[in-house]
Structure 1
């Protein structure tokens, strides 16, 4: 058994504006940059063992990862499969929009030009399978709320409704164990 850590990027402009980011690259706010620095200091102070940080190529996750790496001295590298789901026509729309809330429960729906939950799960599950096989290393993944749902579903049984409602706070650190 070995451990995997996951965090969501710091607060973004579109988080504050309650908009769906997806593949749209909304930058961190000053609060988001502070959250990232504080998470880095907390990881360093905790004494948890992490070998490497893998992060999404979107700037909000990359900037968060770099702040953690700076605070901890950990190596960090971009992992393209950690990019957020493309929500197609919903990007830039309200996160709590009724149509989007229903669409999130339709796992084959590509959101008119986006990426389906099934496609997203395939790329994230493939990555997690690779990390599970690498028993000699402990990783911190820095990514997005949509990725957080998929990672949680990899480790725990969830209903469709639980999956659609799942998420984590900005810079919340979650620990998982590969069996």
Structure 2
């Protein structure tokens, strides 16, 4: 059995504005940059063994991962499959909109030009299956809240309602165990 760690990027401009980011590249705020530096310190001081950081190509996750790498000295590389889900017509709209909340429970819905939950799960599950096979390495994945939901569902049984409501805070660090 080995572990994998997951962290969400720091706070972004659109997080503050309560907008759905998705594939739209909303930058970190000053608070988000500080959260990323604090995450790096936390990882370094925790003594957890991490061999490599894999991060989403979107700048909010990349900048967070690079801050952690700088603080810890860990190697970091971009993993394109960790990009956030494309929410199509919902990007830039309120995160708590009733129509979006309902749409999140429709796993085959592509949001008029976006990516379905099923497509997202396929690419993340494929990545996690690969990382599971690499028993000699422990990874820190730095990505997004949508990715956090999929990772959580890979390791734990969830109802549709639990899945659509799941999420983690900015720069929260979660450990998972491959069995």
Tell me if TM exceeds 0.5: yes
TM-score normalized by the length of structure 1: 1.00
Separation in 2 of the partners of 1:77 and 1:43?
17
Structure 1 counterpart of 2:123 = 123
> For 2:105, what is the secondary structure of its paired residue?
coil
CA distance in 1, matches of 2:119, 2:3: 25
Q: Partners in 1 of 2:150 and 2:93 — Cα distance?
A: 22
Supply the distance in 2 between the matched residues of 1:159 and 1:126 (Cα, whole angstroms): 21
Cα distance in 2 for partners of 1:55, 1:110 equals 24
Structure 1 segment 68-79 matched on structure 2, within 5 A? 68-79=68-79
Deviation at 1:153, TM superposition (A): 0.0
Number of aligned residue pairs: give it. Answer: 179
Match of 1:63 in 2: 63
Distance 2:39 2:56 in 1: 17
Cα distance, 1:146 vs structure 2: 0.1
Q: Secondary structure at the match of 1:44?
A: helix
Q: Write the distance in 1 (CA, Å) between the matches of 2:132 and 2:139.
A: 10
Aligned to 1:132: 132
Residue in structure 1 matched with residue 54 of structure 2 by the alignment: 54
Unaligned runs of 5+ in 1: none
Alpha-carbon distance between aligned partners in 2 of 1:51 and 1:2, rounded to the nearest angstrom: 12
**2:85 is the counterpart of 1:85:** yes
Q: For 2:141 and 2:129, how far apart are their aligned partners in 1?
A: 14
Partner of 1:148: 148
